Chain A
Amino acid sequence: MPRQRSGGGDDGTKPDGKRTVGPENPDGDVTPAGGQDDTRPANPGRDVTQATPDNSVPPRIGDEMRGHIGERLRAHYDAVAQEPVPDRFLDLLAQLEAGSDSDEADPEK
């Protein structure tokens, strides 16, 4: 048995509830709304502080948030990048070096 809805709720069963924005009824009129830029990607709720005409560029985030992200990005990265080089790689390079010294012409992959 399907669950029953007693009308009137805020369930989204019908998309009819959308508000008409224009003063005139655009019934049958297929002219695109002049003020709307249809080439923008659909991001209705985005906080566009600077409305850029360039449609492929997402809204610029603030410098503070940018700094916030950059700082954590480097912390994430440096957690590994600041570790000393593990011995396995130094050993590996020594092996490769020994190999190429003893066998110059071997095009091993």
Chain B
Amino acid sequence: MSPSPRVRDDLVASIPSLRAFAVSLCGHPDQADDLVQETLVKAWANLGSFREGTNLRAWLFTILRNAFYSEFRKRRNEVEDAEGVFAARLAALPAQSGHMDLQDFRTALATLPSDQREALILVGASGFSYEEAAMICDCAVGTVKSRVNRARTKLSELLAVHSGDDFAADAPDKAALSVAASGNAPGSGR
């Protein structure tokens, strides 16, 4: 069945954020777009089960995430994709703005466990509520909160190393990290 023009427009409007989410999931722009394509085809085929007026974006993200975990991961495993490869890919993504430390951030982001990374992306970048993110990830709201918290904590440790401890290559002890974290001025970008 053909969707209403409104749903079709919403579908198109969701594509940019679907692509961004897909890149964060699989770390590779080309694979990400294949994933988005698969998502759109699946969504189209299942539009009958979507109730107009409910959250189309969250519904699409759910489809994309399911497609990634069910199929894309299988394919990825065939190539035996190491964690380091994922990190390198994410760090190699084009930077748009003037954040000189964006690649460092991406490297740090890539080291997070995938469940934490996706929760952080959904809540911190895609603009979903904890409730919506929980629906998308098919888990409890508290689980999302805990994943996001752990992701932020881990990132704050890693970023403190990069921004505050650049020259202390072999001083990775936690005390140094937390000092750097608390003394770090985040407004340095401007």
Q: Which residues of A contact B (CB under 8 A)?
A: 44-47, 49, 56-62, 64-83, 85-86, 88-90, 92-93, 96-97, 100-101, 104, 107-109
| Bound Cα distance from A89 to B95, whole angstroms | 23
Q: Which residues of B contact A (CB under 8 A)?
A: 1-2, 8, 11-12, 15-17, 19-20, 23-24, 29, 32-33, 36-37, 40-42, 44-45, 93-97, 99, 101-102, 105-106, 109, 120-121, 124-126, 146, 149-150, 152-153, 155-156, 159-160, 173-175, 177-178, 181-182, 184-187, 189
| Bound Cα distance from A79 to B21, whole angstroms | 11
In the complex, are the beta carbons of A101 and B2 less than 8 A apart?
A: yes
| Bound Cα distance from A30 to B177, whole angstroms | 34
Q: Count the A-B residue pairs with Cβ separation under 8 angstroms: how many?
A: 149
Please indicate the chain B residues that have their CB under 8 angstroms from the CB of A71 in the complex. Answer: 99, 186, 189
In the complex, the chain A residue whose C-beta lies closest to that of B36 is: A89
Checking A45, A78, A89, A97 against B8 with a beta-carbon cut-off of 8 angstroms, the contacting residue is: A97
Instruction: Please give me the 7 A-B residue pairs with the lowest Cβ-Cβ distance, nearest first.
Output: A45-B174, A47-B178, A68-B186, A77-B125, A81-B20, A79-B96, A80-B20
In the complex, are the beta carbons of A61 and B189 less than 8 A apart?
A: no
In the complex, are the beta carbons of B182 and A62 less than 8 A apart?
A: yes
In the complex, are the beta carbons of B186 and A64 less than 8 A apart?
A: yes
Tell me, rounded to whole Å, the shortest Cβ–Cβ distance linking A8 to chain B. Answer: 22
In the complex, are the beta carbons of B126 and A77 less than 8 A apart?
A: yes
Checking B19, B152, B177, B178 against A83 with a beta-carbon cut-off of 8 angstroms, the contacting residue is: B19
